[in-house]
Structure formats: structure tokens, C-alpha cells
Amino acid sequence: MAPSQPEKILIIHSGGIGDLLLALPAMRLLRQAFFHSILFLMGQPERLSLVAFDLQAHSIQAIDQAGMAYFYAAGGPLPEGLSVFFSSCGAILLFGKSGRKPLAENLKRAGAEQVIFLPSFPPEGLKVHAADYLVDSLKAPGIEGENSFSPLRLPEDALGFARGFLGNLGLKEGERVLAIHPGSGSPAKNWSPENFARVADGMSRRAKVLLISGPANDGVEEVRRALKKADSFVVDNLPLLQLAALLQTSTAYLGNDSGITHLAAALGIPTVAIFGPTDPAIWGPRGPEVRSFYDRFACSPCSSKERSACSRSCLKAIEAVSVIEALAPFFQ
């Protein structure tokens, strides 16, 4: 039986880019269940901008706005303005760690009619992909559907930006481009800059190379210094929505276990992902043309604490020539 259609619904997700995109199938199912309702999003606005158009969201609210801190404390007073907003939402889907349960309880105290709390990650030891786990977890409150893939949809103005950006770089429409992001949220998950450079050089006759750099030290300059043949361009710290549009114009993508890798896969472009200390069976990007390189060692996958003192043998075992062979068919 289809759920009743309240006037407003809300999705709260304040995690990283990769976690957000792994949660997208579950978000889409909620949207389908309440397709007549006005959808609001709350979290990190720039990250949520990636999915707002796809989910047909009305607006995005910041999770760190004034008054929200009260909702993370058990049993305390709740600000009236936010309480009125939350009480106007007939259903709230909240993603978070188990420690976020006070937030779920306070949303109910504020008057929210239905609060669905989903832990962002599968329980430790459960060998199931995170996206499937979230979709399956929605069955308990009666929201069901298949976790089938469809590319992330972007607004036309972002796509127009990408076309103009590539033109300003001197790249012609339809020219073959390999996008490479050599960073991630943790240096322990990163393949070496020298290996990324070897792949770029190996693909130099087939494609232009677009090196994606962000606000952190992500190895882009190290890759550039190691290049011997490739004609490369650097995309530095673009807003996420514009970066997504730029990725969608690329022929293929190469990166580590990172949010940007999940973004490339979600857009439906051919994606090659390098995994070492994390398990792609649980955290791997999803898409129609995704290839994950993962050389399982006895110590892999490992905890973040173990990674800090690790020699990264699992990453060193992945050879550039194998990655070139995986990418080559997309540039025929």
C-alpha cells in the first residue's frame, strides 16, 4: 500500500560525498514513495547540491544553522522556529551514525509525524554493499523498491558551464578525455602519484588528461611532475556541481576510493577505482561501467588506525599497466 502523501518531507544527510551518493538509491525510493510531497534537504549545502536536481528538491538547508545544536542534546529545550519546520514535515529520513539517535528523538519531540533513522554504514562484519544495506533498511518502515542504477541527473546550467569550461581549455566537443583524481579523504587510500602518471602517459596517444584537484593536498602536483608524455590540464577546486558536470563530459575516469570516484560512477561514465585498505564489496562505486582494482592481502581491509602504520602493500601491488589495459577499451 502506498504511503499517504504529506505536504512536506525532509531528508537529512550530513556525511561525505561518497556516503551521500551511496545513500542516493534509498533517497530516490523515499522520493518515489512521496512523489507528490515537497522535498527539503538538510546537510552540507554544496554536497547536497549534487543530488537536489535529481531528487526534485525544493530547497537545501544547512545542518549547522543557528539552533541545530540543541537537537543533538538529549532532553534539552528545542528552538521554536526549527521545531515548527520539523513538525510541518510528514516524514523525515535521517541518515547518521548510531550516536545521532538523540537527533531522531528530538525531531519526534519537535512534532515530526514520522522519523526514519538509517545508520549510514552496515554493521561491522556484515558483508553487504552499503547502498544495498540502506535500501533494504527502508523496508521496515514500508518503503520498498529495487536498487537499480540510473545516472545522476544534473541541471542544464551546470552542463552548460562544463561545455564552456572545456572550450576555454582548448578542448573540442567530443574530444576524448581521461579524468584523473589522485586524492581521497585519506592519504593511506591513495595509489602513488607515479602510478597515476604512468597511466596518464600510457593513455597519452588516446586522450587528453584532466587532473582534478581539490582544497586538500591531493597529489596533483606530484603527478604533473612525474608526467613524461601526457598533455594534461588541471581543474582546481571547482564547486562540486560544476565538477560533476565536467566529469559527465569525460570519456572515462580514474581515481582512488574517494567521493569524487563515487561521483564519476554515479554519473554513469566508465570508472576505474583503485582500492587497497577498504573493501569494494562494501564501499565500491556503483555504475554500468565500473572496474575496481583490489589486490586482497591478509591484512586487508583494515581499520583507519591500522592504515596509519601500514606499508600499503595492497596498493603497491596494483600495476599501472593493468589499469591502462582496463581503460584502453573506452578510448578505441
Query: What are φ and ψ of residue 246, in 5° steps?
Result: -65, -40
Query: What are 165-174's pLDDT values in tens digits?
Result: 988 988 887 8
Measured torsion, CA atoms of residues 215, 216, 218, 223, in degrees rounded to the nearest 10: 60
Alpha helices in the chain, H assignment, sequence order? 17-33, 45-52, 80-87, 101-109, 130-137, 156-168, 193-202, 220-226, 240-248, 259-266, 280-283, 304-307, 313-316, 320-327
Q: Do domains 8-137 and 156-331 have the same CATH topology?
A: yes
Q: Where are the domains of the chain?
A: 8-137, 156-331
d(CA 121, CA 207) in angstroms, rounded, equals 37
| Identity of the residue numbered 144 | E
Within 8 A by CB and 6+ apart from 284, the residues are 129, 273, 275, 290, 292
Within 8 A by CB and 6+ apart from 73, the residues are 102, 106
Q: How many CB atoms lie within 10 A of CB 209?
A: 25
Tens-level pLDDT at each residue, the chain (332 residues): 456 789 999 999 999 999 999 999 999 999 999 999 999 999 999 999 999 999 999 999 999 999 999 999 988 999 999 999 999 999 999 999 865 679 999 999 999 999 999 998 898 888 899 999 999 999 999 998 888 899 999 999 999 999 999 889 888 878 899 999 999 988 889 999 999 999 999 999 999 999 999 876 689 999 999 999 998 999 999 999 999 999 999 999 999 999 999 999 999 999 999 999 889 999 999 999 999 999 866 556 665 665 555 666 889 999 999 999 999 999 98
Give me the DSSP letters along 288-301. Answer: TTEEEEE---TT-S
Grid-cell match 562540486, residue found: 240
Residue 1's pLDDT is: 43
> In the 8-state DSSP scheme, what is residue 68?
G
According to CATH, the topology of domain 156-331 is Rossmann fold (3.40.50)
Sheet holding 271-275, edge to edge: 232-236, 208-213, 177-181, 252-256, 271-275, 290-294
Is 0.85 surpassed by the pTM of this model?
A: yes
Give me the DSSP letters along 7-67. Answer: SEEEEEE-S-HHHHHHHHHHHHHHHHHTTTSEEEEEE-HHHHHHHHTTTT-SEEEETTSTT
Cell of 322: 593493468
Grid-cell match 529545550, residue found: 77
Alpha carbon separation from 156 to 13, 160, 162, 163 (Å, rounded): 24, 6, 10, 11
Within 8 A by CB and 6+ apart from 249, the residues are 162, 163, 166, 177
Query: What are φ and ψ of residue 198, in 5° steps?
Result: -60, -40
Query: What are φ and ψ of residue 116, in 5° steps?
Result: -105, 115
Grid-cell match 538529549, residue found: 74
Q: How many CB atoms lie within 10 A of CB 149?
A: 15
Measured torsion, CA atoms of residues 185, 256, 11, 129, in degrees rounded to the nearest 10: -120
What class, spelled out in words, does domain 8-137 have in CATH? alpha beta
Q: Is residue 274 within a helix (H) or strand (E), and if so which, with residue range?
A: strand 271-275
> In the 8-state DSSP scheme, what is residue 75?
T
